[in-house]
Amino acid sequence: MPPETTTDAVPASPVDEVAGADDVTTAPTLGGLTHAGAAADGAPAPTVFDVTDLSVLYSGFRAVRGVKLDVAKNDITAFIGPSGCGKTTVLRCFNRMNDLIDGAKVEGSLKFHGVDLYAKDVNPVEVRRRIGMVFQKPNPFPKSIFENVAYGPKLAGIRKKAELDEIVEQALRGSALWDEVKDRLGKSALGLSGGQQQRLCIARAIAVRPEVILMDEPCSALDPVATLRIEQLMQELKDEYTIIIVTHNMQQAARVSDRTAFFSVDVDATSGDRTGELVEYDRTEKIFSQPSDSRTEDYVTGRFG
């Protein structure tokens, strides 16, 4: 079985993180959708993603199978599970990053506001504009700190310096980086520490204001203080964005998420093939206090994984 797809396995261009490509301004919309409005007070949050029987294959090998879940608007959803269970592979399906892997094939249905993201007439560039991603491994452009954050807004047609200055400052403040870099915005982003580079990538994702933010272990390179700031930021962002996060830190999942999906690995007794599968998906409080499946309980209590 190929290992679970990670950010190191398939290096993604920062352009994919920000928008997908320079032709973002001419990419068609997803069925003419606009950003969904907030639900009325007391009304159920609208469903952003509806996933049915989702499987991912690599060169014919089924790495993940039968995933079924839905994601509500303005929820933070956490994917947890042992290494190799497919959680990052599934995360990458939400903005079609698996398209960049030779031999990858996605089966089943993954709908975004009712539109099949894998339909032939859907442009993956537009998908990645609407559904941004923050990767585990920082990947800044070899440009200045300012240009890294301003890149996406410039692609969207923003040219006024005052407007770009405001966007960059707000994004850097939101990622808890402004005070550290405000006096060197013209310096290369490659001169930042690893943790600072990751926070810069988070600022870059925030700057283009996608509807959804996917995060693949975004705090793994950060110190505890910066991690806490990012977790606080997630709570602030959820008022405006829908967030899906992959994390190996169960305490983090319990702290920040509204719903949690636990993935595990099924091993074929005959062939030894290992296939990732979704075991349980529920409100985070229930997953950690009263899980329905014994495998979930074993994982969250530290008996395995």
Structure token digits, residue 256: 């920040």
Contacts 24+ apart (CB under 8 A), 223-227: 223/195, 226/176, 226/195, 226/199, 227/252
Per the domain annotation, does 8 fall within a domain?
no
pLDDT value, residue 92: 96
The whole-number pLDDT of residue 30 equals 61
Sheet holding 259-267, edge to edge: 115-116, 104-112, 47-58, 61-72, 274-283, 259-267, 76-80, 242-246, 212-216, 131-134
Closest CA to 136 of 242, 239, 248: 248
Q: What is the mean pLDDT of residues 270-279?
A: 91
Whether the pLDDT of residue 84 is over 50: the answer is yes
Q: What is the CATH number of the domain that holds 247?
A: 3.40.50.300
**What is the tens place of the pLDDT at every residue in 35-75?**
445 455 556 779 999 999 999 999 989 999 999 999 999 99
126 assigned to some structural domain: yes
**pLDDT at res. 35:** 47
* Range scoring the smallest mean pLDDT among 179-188, 229-238, 259-268: 229-238
Pick the more confident residue, 60 or 149: 149
Q: Is residue 6 part of a domain?
A: no
| Domain-located, residue 39 | no
**pLDDT at residue number 220:** 84
Residue 116 located in a structural domain = yes
Domains contained in the chain, number: 1
* 241 in any annotated domain: yes
The pLDDT tens digits for 116-138 are 999 999 999 889 889 999 988 88
Give which of 280, 284, 278 is closest to 54, Cα–Cα.
278
For 213-239, b where at least 16 C-beta lie within 10 A, e where not — what string?
bbbbbbbebbeeebbebbbebbeebbe
The arithmetic mean of pLDDT across residues 215-220, rounded, is: 90
Q: What does the alpha-carbon distance between residue 110 and residue 116 come to, in Å, rounded to a whole number?
A: 6
Two tokens at 126?
């537009």
Q: Does residue 38 form part of some domain?
A: no
Q: Taking the mean position of all CA atoms in its chain, how far away is CA 35?
A: 18
Residue linked to tokens 């399906």: 93
pLDDT bucket at 305, cuts 50 / 70 / 90:
low
Average pLDDT, the chain: 86
> What residues have CB less than 8 Å from 236, skipping those under 6 apart?
174
Amino acid 187: pLDDT: 98
pTM given for the model: 0.83
Least confident range of 52-66, 67-81, 219-233, 274-288: 219-233
Which pLDDT does position 195 carry in this prediction?
81
C-alpha span between 208 and 149 (Å, rounded): 9
Q: Which domain holds residue 176?
A: 14-32+45-300
- Separation of alpha carbons 305 and 300, rounded Å: 9
Q: Is 86 left (phi over 0), alpha (psi -120 to 50) or beta?
A: left
pLDDT for residue 7 is more than 60: no
Residue 213 predicted with pLDDT over 60: yes
Residue 23 has pLDDT above 50, yes or no: no
| Of the candidate ranges 77-81, 158-162, 178-182, 217-221, the one whose mean pLDDT is the lowest | 217-221
Q: How far apart are CA 265 and CA 259, in angstroms?
A: 20
Is residue 305 one of the residues assigned to a domain?
Answer: no
C-alpha dihedral (94, 44, 297, 108), degrees to nearest 10: -30
Residue 14, pLDDT above cutoff 50: no
The torsion of the CA quartet 277, 100, 102, 60, rounded to 10 degrees, works out to 20
For residue 22, pLDDT beyond 60: no
Report whether 136 contacts 217 (CB < 8 A): yes
Please write the tens of the pLDDT for every residue from 98-114.
999 999 999 999 999 99
Cα separation, 266 vs 66, in Å, equals 12
CB 208 within 8 A of CB 238: no
pLDDT at 194 over 90: no
